[in-house]
Structures are given as structure tokens and as C-alpha cells.
Amino acid sequence: MAHSNTSVPPLINLTHSIVAGGTFTQHINQHNYTRSGERPGYARLLENVATAALHDSVHVIDPPKCYPNTRVAIIQTIINWTLGADKKLSGKSILWLKGAAGAGKSAIARSVAERCLDEGLLLGTFFFGAADSTRNHVGRLVATLSYQISLVLPEFRDIVATFIEDDPLVFNRSIRTQFSTLVIRPLSIVLANLPAALTTTPRLIIIDGLDECSSINSQRDLLSTLQETTNTTSLIRFLVCSRPESHLNSAFSLPCIVPILSNIFLYNDCVARDDVRVYLNNKFKQIKEGHVFRRMLPDLWPTPEIVDALVNKSSGQFIYAATVVRYVESPRHRPDQRLDAIFNLRPPFKDLPFMELDALYRLIIFKAENVEIVADILVFPAHRGWYYSRDIEKSLLLEEGAVEVMLADLHSIIAYSPYGDLEFIHKSLADFLCDPQRAESLYRDFDEVWYRHMGYTEPDYRESFDYRK
């Protein structure tokens, strides 16, 4: 990628000239240049950039961003932390934004990135994506951040190019070495030479979807590197967004990280539900005003009771509300009939309402080590609501503590308290598990599971399913 401020120094024109005697050597300067006008070091940097990981990448279709007038308080909290304006967060150089699957973490991260870019606070972003081979690992992370910093701070570019030319194999080194060579050292040189009168300094690096990095060991190594970086310099702040996976909970609880860490947990609170309500009301208004079949809609559609029910089902998670809206606004169907199908008030259409959400639930549940037992465990809270894990263990003849261990990979959809009570973060998860068409192999009939394990009237179940073996 060539930039206008980088050019190859012109050669001396020797046309119609005579050089007599001796040896003539023409030096361009201390650096070599590629044919495109880039220094070799910078050209090599560009080769290792994951463009799809940029917050405004053209390769990401319909990237999530916060709906207007939602998540306002959370975004402002992050901005204040970035600026150092929040005294309660003084000394906290890492902010962990964690939340359930579909809680809107990436949308918040992108909105923060755009605002910080406008305010001159953003150094770079990296959005992991499990399904994208260019950004589901840490291999291109540091180069991608370094490239963005070179755009924000032009002086950074020549310095990092020199470091790469001095060590052309730097991209094959550890994430820790790459961070030091391609980010910390050149950035420290540049920022040390900035005028003291500057009121704001670019300082924020956003790493989104850390749990979507394919290697758990790489996730831990990256967190360790971020922690070591904050010990080296106070110039950088890291916003890390992820699901609260068990191994990440452990990593963020390490004694070396706790003193520099602050948390924001996206959960089913009043503010989240209010934001979902704003989103739904505005989207339904747009449908009533612009849908091709708007003339067929009742005047009072949808009723406040329907909106309340959707807000309750969402559990403060935007993925549920967004899924409903996408289904209802289909230009090939009447919106009111599509909404009735959501509530099972009419037969479903060929495209089921929650296919995307169901795929997410299946993806998460199938991460469990023993899916069959996990499906049996989930049938209790699905059919009976809140449940004690020890009662489930007794009912399924499991060892004490087995439920917590078996659900360790499901923290993004299930809340497990220290007291042993179990509940779904997504209320719609119960709807999924109780519907055989949606849950497919994960579906369980509550009575069948109960009788199978308790053996009241079905002795054959005990012979076929003994989980103590």
C-alpha cells in the first residue's frame, strides 16, 4: 500500500554525460525501497496485516454497532476511563468488557472505536472472528495494530520499518517479542517526542472477541503480554471484550492482573432492558412507516404488551431483539403475521424465526465435553426455571460438584452462582430447549429424564443410563 508522503529519492540524470576515470557509486540513502515506493520493512508489515480485523473493515458485512441512544452510559464510562477522567478507575490500564453471547460487546467496541478515532484517542483495534482464518489467531494481531498506529502517528512508520528491516523474521517470534518490537519500542520513541502541550494523546487499543481466538493458550499469552506491556509503559490502555469463559475468568483473576483491571459486565439490568425497548420501538416504528405491506398493519401494532414480552425474552441481550426485527421486517411477508409466528399464534413460515439464535445456542452447548449429560442437566432449569445444582446432581445420580464442572464451557449463556443455583442468562434458551424442532438432538422431555434417572415407574431407564459408570 503506497502513501503519497513516501517516495523514492530521484536518481541523478546522467543523460548526455561522461564519467571518466575512477569508480562512480550513487547512494540513494541508507534505506532500500520496493518498486511501489515502500520501504521493505513497511511493505513486510503490510503483508502481515489482517484487514478484516479492523473496526471499519469492508470485509465484514453489516458489522454490529450500537443503535442510536443505546449503551450511552457504558460508552461514556469507557471514554472517561480512556481519558483518565474517572478517579475510581485510576491505575486501571486494562478494562474487561464481558458479557453473554449476543450481549452487544462487539457493537459497543465498534462504537467506542469510532468515537475515540474522532477524538484522537484511538491507536488501533483488532476484532477476532472464529470463522475467519485471517483473524481467528494472534499471528497477525501485532502487525495489524502496528499498521494502524503508523497511520495515527506518521513518525512511527519509519521507526517500525527500521526495526523490521533489522529483524526480518520478527513476525515469526513470540507475541511478546512482536509487541515489544513493533508496538512498544517505536511508540515510546514517538510519544517521547510529542509536544507537551498536546491535550490528548492516542492511547487506546481495543481487542474484541478474545474468546474467538482459536487457541486458549494464545489467549492466555496475549493477556500476559498486555499485563507486561502496562508495566513497561503507562501510555497505553487496553479494552478487551469477550465472553466470560472459564479460562478467561481464571486468567483475569491472576494476582498480577487484578490490580490493573477494571470490569464491565453486560447483564440483564434495567438499563440494558430499556435500551432493548428503545431499539424495538424505533424499529417497529420504521416498519410501520416504510414496509411494503404497512397498510395492512393494525393501528395499535404492536401492542405495548407484545413489546414488554419481547423485552423480557431478550434478557437485555440485543441478539434476541435483532433476530426478531430481522424476521418481522421481511419484505415478502406481513410484519404482523411474522410477529404472531414469533409467539406461536400462527404456524411458522418456512424460514423459522430463530435459526440464527438457535445455531448460536447449539454451537455453545456442543463445546461441552459430555453433551448428552449436559442436555439432561439443562432440562431442569429449562422446564422448571431456577434450580439448585445439588438437586440436579441428586436427580441424575451425579457426583457432588459435577454440574459446575460440566457447565464450565457454557458461562456465556448460563449463570452459576457460588451457592449452586443455576439459571439461564438468555430466557429464550428455555424456549429453544423445550422445542424439539429447534433443539433437535438437544431436546429432552422432562418427565422422561426424571423417570429415567429416578426410576419411579421406568426401571429400564436405569439399566440403559447409569452416569456413575
Q: What is the pLDDT of residues 331-381, one digit of tens each?
A: 999 999 999 999 988 888 888 889 889 999 999 999 999 999 999 999 999
| pTM of structure | 0.84
Give the pLDDT of residue 11: 43
Max CA separation in the chain (angstroms): 110
Nearest residue to 419 (alpha-carbon basis) of 395, 378, 388, 377: 388
* Helix (H) or strand (E) segment spanning residue 205: strand 204-208
Domain with CATH 1.10.10 in the chain: 359-464
> Hey, what's the cell of 22?
575512477
Residue ranges in 17-84 assigned as alpha helix (H): 40-47, 72-83
Give the CATH class of 359-464. mainly alpha
**Which residues of the chain, if any, have pLDDT below 50?**
1-31, 35, 457-469
Give the pLDDT of residue 12: 40
Give the pLDDT of residue 233: 81
CATH number for domain 40-266, candidates 3.40.50.300, 3.40.50.1110, 3.90.1150.10, 3.20.20.70:
3.40.50.300
Give the pLDDT of residue 347: 86
Start-to-end C-alpha separation, the chain: 61
CA dist 427 and 433 (Å) reads: 11
Give the pLDDT of residue 7: 45
Nearest residue to 272 (alpha-carbon basis) of 314, 304, 231, 235: 314
